[in-house]
Amino acid sequence: MKKITFFIILLCSIITLQGIAQDVKKERIPLKHGAHRIGKRTDAEMQRWREYGLGQFIHWGVYAIPGGQWNGKTSTYAAEWFRSSGLITKEEYDNLYKQFNPVAFDARQWASQARQMGARYMIFTTKHHDGFCMWPSKYTDYTIAGTPYKKDIVKQLVDAYDAEGIDVYLYFSIIDWSHKGYRSGIPATEAEKESYGTFKAFTRNQLIELLTNYPSIKGLWFDGSWDKAWVNEAAWVDELGRELRAMHPGLIIGSRFRADENGARHIDSNGDLIDDYDQRFERNLPNSLKEVGGNDWDCVMTIPENQWGYHRDWSLTYVKTPYDLIEMTVKANSLDGNFVINFGPDDKGNIRPEETRIAKDIGNWMAVNGEAVYGTHHSVLDKHDWGYSTQKGDKIYLSVFNKPMNDLLRVKAPGSKDKEMVYVIESAKFLSTKKPAMIRDGGRDKNGSCYYDIVIPAEIEKTREPFVIEIRLKKVGKGEKSAYQQALT
Ligand code: FHN
């Protein structure tokens, strides 16, 4: 008896403690510089962002000159970090810009290639961690104006991509190795504070300059904001964000710009997303909606493993295939995110042939199947092993990357809350052939979900390409079949 009483008391204590723990978890702390909005932005600009589906990233700067190699040695470092590779002295690197002369650069050709690939937005590195500016900034001499090339690259790109109807976002690195006042650690002395103050003023000036010079851009894509010194400036950075947004209504900024006053980055101390979309999924797609936490998000991805800037030698790394990248694109959209593929042009301004081929293949697939990506979101269907489903209005797109050996694609329709009703497939067609698909009834489970087997015809099977089936569902009384099924089964 004593034992039973003991266990009952223990159980009650555990339940009470759990309750307290949950209450403590739910308690919100007052934050001045955390998220300024709970939930997603609902304005037209952000809705447009949400519908892009596929984007292009471009990492281009003076690091394209060494392209990962120097004095006959090859670095396995990310090429855009070459200054830190140990193969070049800082002085040599900092003088590379005097040779930067991308005579083959043709912004219109890049933009046309991006449009053919199906990109709806582009993010361009105006300034990476080395601090070299691809626009003629009046706040430093370390810019494109000081190169033999001289011309404003950012302007040419903004104009060319605007002309193709591709929205432009400017990548901006907070880390800037070229500025004397830049530091990673929190300034301790008055002199350090003063020096860091000059860096803050410089950063603010450059951001205002970018928004002033290129007013058609849609957003700023921040990077290199993890330094303690920057994180420590929550109030100042928050105010800067306000100023930039006031200057440029509708401006879109991801979660990597600022931290809250407790140093929490991306997600504030109350668990809410800081700014407009979650930037934490770099080269790392989430696997479930739960991971995404109901937020907008993007995933930026390299074609090789971890090379963003131009590296001459791709033989040292796995290079993703067009189908790898297409699958990732569809997966991102099935989880309510955008997917952005990175390109690293060479020092002359050429997009490397491997990237051009990949862009072309992706574009050919997107031209036929892009409906499954643009403007779509997570579908009402469960995740299936053959691939991913996305949805737009009442159209559900089944993107198949793992074709079943029996050429029957099993689809589980959602269960219906009303026990007398079930979902049937009202219509189904292949996007590539535009032909209707034949469907077999696959039975029901005890929760009222119906199963269907979509027959993959030989003409689709033989292409050995990922393909998309567009279906529509209809709720009918139990035992009824859709007119489509009656005709086709
Ligand atoms: O250090 C950079 C890296 O070079 C590259 O620019 C990527 C792109 O998102 N961002 C940083 C690493 O997170």
Question: 306 with 239, same domain?
Answer: yes
CA of 451 to the centre of ligand 1 (A): 44
**CB of 78 closer than 6 angstroms to any ligand 1 atom:** yes
Q: Specify if 102 maps to a domain.
A: yes
pLDDT in the model for residue 480: 75
pLDDT in the model for residue 1: 47
User: CB-based contacts of 324: which residues, under 8 Å, 6+ apart?
Assistant: none
**CB of 62 closer than 6 angstroms to any ligand 1 atom:** no
CA of 269 to the centre of ligand 1 (A): 24
Q: Specify if 28 maps to a domain.
A: no
Poorest-confidence range of 14-28, 137-151, 211-225, 296-310? 14-28
Last residue of a domain, which of 354, 372, 390? 372
**CB of 135 closer than 6 angstroms to any ligand 1 atom:** no
Question: 210 with 326, same domain?
Answer: yes
To the question of pTM greater than 0.85 for the whole model, the response is yes
pLDDT in the model for residue 230: 98
Poorest-confidence range of 143-152, 381-390, 443-452? 443-452
Strand partners, 321: none
CA of 81 to the centre of ligand 1 (A): 9
Tell me which residue has its CA closest to atom 1 in ligand 1. Answer: 224
pLDDT digits (tens, 9 = 90+) for 162-174: 999 999 999 999 9
pLDDT at 12 over 50: no
pLDDT at 411 over 80: yes
CATH (domain of 425): 2.60.40.1180
Tell me which residue has its CA closest to atom 5 in ligand 1. Answer: 308
- Give me the mean pLDDT over the 300-313 stretch: 97
- Our measurement of the distance from residue 311's CA atom to the centroid of its chain's CA atoms, rounded to an integer in Å, reads 22
Q: Which is the closest atom of ligand 1 to the Cα of 342?
A: 8
**CB of 223 closer than 6 angstroms to any ligand 1 atom:** yes
Q: DSSP string covering 221-248, please?
A: EEE---SHHHHTTHHHHHHHHHHHHHHS
Q: Specify if 1 maps to a domain.
A: no
Question: 183 with 208, same domain?
Answer: yes
CA of 84 to the centre of ligand 1 (A): 14
pLDDT at 5 over 60: no
Question: 202 with 346, same domain?
Answer: yes
- Give me the mean pLDDT over the 464-470 stretch: 96
**CB of 221 closer than 6 angstroms to any ligand 1 atom:** no
Last residue of a domain, which of 372, 387, 416? 372
Question: 96 with 70, same domain?
Answer: yes
Cα 411 from Cα 178, distance rounded (Å) = 56
Instruction: Copy the structure tokens of residue 171.
Output: 């990548």
CA of 223 to the centre of ligand 1 (A): 7
Residue the block writes with tokens 């929190």: 186
Q: Specify if 356 maps to a domain.
A: yes
Residue the block writes with tokens 């099977």: 461
Cα 369 from Cα 366, distance rounded (Å) = 5
CATH (domain of 202): 3.20.20.80
Cα 59 from Cα 126, distance rounded (Å) = 9
Tell me which residue of 113, 152, 33 sits closest to 343, measured CA to CA: 113
- Cβ proximity of 274 and 260 under 8 Å: yes
Q: Specify if 426 maps to a domain.
A: yes
Question: 297 with 400, same domain?
Answer: no
| Residue 332: C-alpha distances to residues 234, 266, 285, 328, 383 (Å) | 31, 19, 7, 6, 13
Residue the block writes with tokens 């002085």: 91
**CB of 226 closer than 6 angstroms to any ligand 1 atom:** no
Select from 227, 257, 266, 282 the residue to mutate for testing ligand 1; criterion: most ligand atoms less than 8 Å from CB: 282
The count of structural domains within the chain is 2
Question: 137 with 241, same domain?
Answer: yes
278 φ/ψ sector (left φ>0, alpha ψ -120 to 50, else beta): beta
Q: Which is the closest atom of ligand 1 to the Cα of 282?
A: 9
Q: Specify if 30 maps to a domain.
A: no
Q: Specify if 122 maps to a domain.
A: yes
Question: 116 with 65, same domain?
Answer: yes
pLDDT in the model for residue 479: 73
**CB of 283 closer than 6 angstroms to any ligand 1 atom:** no
Question: 388 with 311, same domain?
Answer: no
Tell me which residue of 468, 452, 428 sits closest to 330, measured CA to CA: 468
pLDDT at 16 over 90: no
Domain with 164, as residue range(s), is 44-372
Question: 333 with 389, same domain?
Answer: no
Last residue of a domain, which of 372, 397, 430? 372
Question: 427 with 314, same domain?
Answer: no
Question: 324 with 396, same domain?
Answer: no
CA of 171 to the centre of ligand 1 (A): 10
Q: Specify if 150 maps to a domain.
A: yes
Tell me which residue of 19, 34, 40 sits closest to 271, measured CA to CA: 34
